[in-house]
Structure 1
Amino acid sequence: MVYVPEIETEQEYAVLLDKVNVFYGSYHAVKDITIPIQKGKITAFIGPSGCGKSTVLRAINRMNDLVEGARVTGDINYHGKNLYDEDVDPVEVRRRIGMVFQKPNPFPKSIYENVAYGPRLLGVNKKALLDEIVERSLRGAALWEEVKNDLRKSGLALSGGQQQRLCIARTIAVEPDIILMDEPASALDPIATQRIEQLMREELSEYTIIIVTHNMQQAQRASDYVAFFNIRKNEDTPGIENRWGELAEFGETDRVFNNPAAEETAEYIAGRFG
């Protein structure tokens, strides 16, 4: 039986996933995902490897469009519009719904040009305005004080944690509504991880954030809501086709961690599988 969270019809969500399915060719990777994402809150996607949480995350800003054979059905409603309607520009979707990836991926450019890149593409060319955007974005990523005297330095010369914050600055420079984070701290040391979590809670508190994480402590510390995905299997079907991801539980973080409604959620949080 597919789990469906309660949807408040009068509520205006940051984005509402409604019976979303993702296919890779003939493979049905995730089935009937419905998740209401609250505005200005942090939602964590958790679950074992292969359960589809990153697949669903990438569907939200149409990154799966870049995968040959990928197909998405259902609705992802954003400001009253299904993001997969034919008249929706996926490039504009990715501007409004930015993404920070698992491994820091700064461009081989200066710190300044990394942050200015997006605004330049949008037609911002005046140096004074670019200077303002770069400083504001670096401050928003809690990086300004560390790099303000080295803006011409290559972004690749920064530490791993600084590179990830530079990528966050690059994301917020184009003023998105929503920030997607796909395990943004998995390649970082504990101190850099703590800084990313603090950044999410403080400097980025005005944004709606959706984060995929394998770290249960991180999900509990950093998020307001949790969506737990699990793997379903059909033993009668051979090979990879016999498994897919489904949403098993969704709710406020404190409730899910302290009083999970599903036994499988409790077992995953307790580390019995995954």
Structure 2
Amino acid sequence: MKQGAPHTVDNEQTSDSPLRGLSVPVSGTADANQAASTVFDIKDLSVFYGDFRAVRDVTLTIRRLEVTAFIGPSGCGKTTVLRCLNRMNDFIESARVEGSVLYHDVDLYDPAVNATEVRRRIGMVFQKPNPFPKSIYDNVAYGPRLLGKRSKSELDGIVEESLRGAALWAEVKDRLKQSGTGLSGGQQQRLCIARAIAVEPEVILMDEPCSALDPIATARIEDLMTEIKQKYTIVIVTHNMQQAARVSDRTAFFTTEINLQGDRRTGRLVEFDETRKIFSMPSDERTEAYVTGRFG
């Protein structure tokens, strides 16, 4: 899409879009060189809601088969940037972006790109578990059915594989016809992860996936992230710095700054580096102040 133009769901295009024909590496088959390849190349990204610039001048790259964490205080734009990666901000009428978000060198905001296909390739797990009011089986089978998969044997295989991938199969295999909303909070979040991977994405975005969970469920989700990054690129927003340190390979620290009028705060990226460097040898004093608990 043109720089600075509004991006909405009306811009979804037909199946001849560049993204539809894009050839990307198959999950889980990369060699060491491929594993370090760039999935997203974000340059000079600014996000506006109407006339308000919520985030400005974000430049970073996200590598394949790594966990990248976005950290920072509330209101610094972490979730706004995350939602740009699969065009979820399209659903906010006043939202528009400037700059570029390249996915395997394809501009996600090019008018020819099919936004629905973007969201199939780049799945999302939200802060609060949100299973559909359907059975466990139908929650996982929902996406594949939308993509035209109708065979019971095929769907059975997808459901089992996805639930195994989300480390949930052993807990629910004997009650697949029961409602997904009857599961515990941690199980519901893993069901949402299974639902996301059922459509075979390359990337999974996670917006504070553990904030509503107890410590035991949180530890299980963290373990799961470590397991599934062998197949999927993961980007996580978290307020929990210890969590970022435990699960991520690279970390982006965002903060806010007061605008010239002094009445609004705009988010901006301060530092982006390997997680161990962010937490042990940050380059910016603002990062050091945040990770050592002096503000935030």
TM-score normalised by structure 2 residue count: 0.87
Per-residue deviation at 1:232?
Answer: 1.2
- Find the partner of 1:259 among 281, 288, 291: 281
Deviates more, 1:204-213 or 1:148-157: 204-213
- Find the partner of 2:263 among 239, 254, 257: 239
- For 1:227 and 1:182, the matched residues in 2 are separated by 14
Counterpart contact for 1:43–1:226, Cα < 8 Å: yes
Per-residue deviation at 1:258?
Answer: 0.5
The SS at the match of 1:202 is helix
- For 1:262 and 1:233, the matched residues in 2 are separated by 18
Say yes or no: does 1:148 pair with 2:170.
no
- For 1:195 and 1:247, the matched residues in 2 are separated by 30
- Find the partner of 2:93 among 68, 72, 95: 68
Query: Which one-letter code corresponds to 2:291 in the other structure?
Result: I
- Runs of at least 4 residues off by over 4 Å: none
Deviations 1:107-164 (A, max 9, x none): 0000000000000000000000000000000000000000000000100000000000
- For 1:41 and 1:53, the matched residues in 2 are separated by 18
Say yes or no: does 1:135 pair with 2:160.
yes
Alignment map for 1:14-93 (pairs within 5 Å): 14-93=39-118
Alignment map for 1:50-199 (pairs within 5 Å): 50-199=75-224
Query: Which one-letter code corresponds to 1:262 in the other structure?
Result: D
Query: Which one-letter code corresponds to 1:254 in the other structure?
Result: R
- For 1:206 and 1:200, the matched residues in 2 are separated by 10
Distance verdict in 2 for CA 1:204–1:149, change over 3 Å = farther
Extract unaligned runs of 5+ from structure 2: 1-35
Per-residue deviation at 1:18?
Answer: 1.1
Per-residue deviation at 1:12?
Answer: 3.8
Say yes or no: does 1:218 pair with 2:243.
yes
Identity over aligned pairs, percent: 63
Counterpart contact for 2:65–2:229, Cα < 8 Å: no
Alignment map for 1:195-210 (pairs within 5 Å): 195-210=220-235
- For 2:230 and 2:183, the matched residues in 1 are separated by 25
The residue that corresponds to 1:272 in the other structure is 294
TM-score normalised by structure 1 residue count: 0.94
- For 2:229 and 2:54, the matched residues in 1 are separated by 31
Per-residue deviation at 1:203?
Answer: 3.5
RMSD of equivalent CA atoms = 0.9
The residue that corresponds to 2:31 in the other structure is none
- For 2:281 and 2:261, the matched residues in 1 are separated by 34
- For 2:253 and 2:100, the matched residues in 1 are separated by 20
The residue that corresponds to 1:5 in the other structure is none
- For 2:63 and 2:211, the matched residues in 1 are separated by 25
Per-residue deviation at 1:205?
Answer: 2.5
- For 2:232 and 2:133, the matched residues in 1 are separated by 27
Extract unaligned runs of 5+ from structure 1: 1-10
Deviates more, 1:111-120 or 1:204-213: 204-213
The residue that corresponds to 1:227 in the other structure is 252
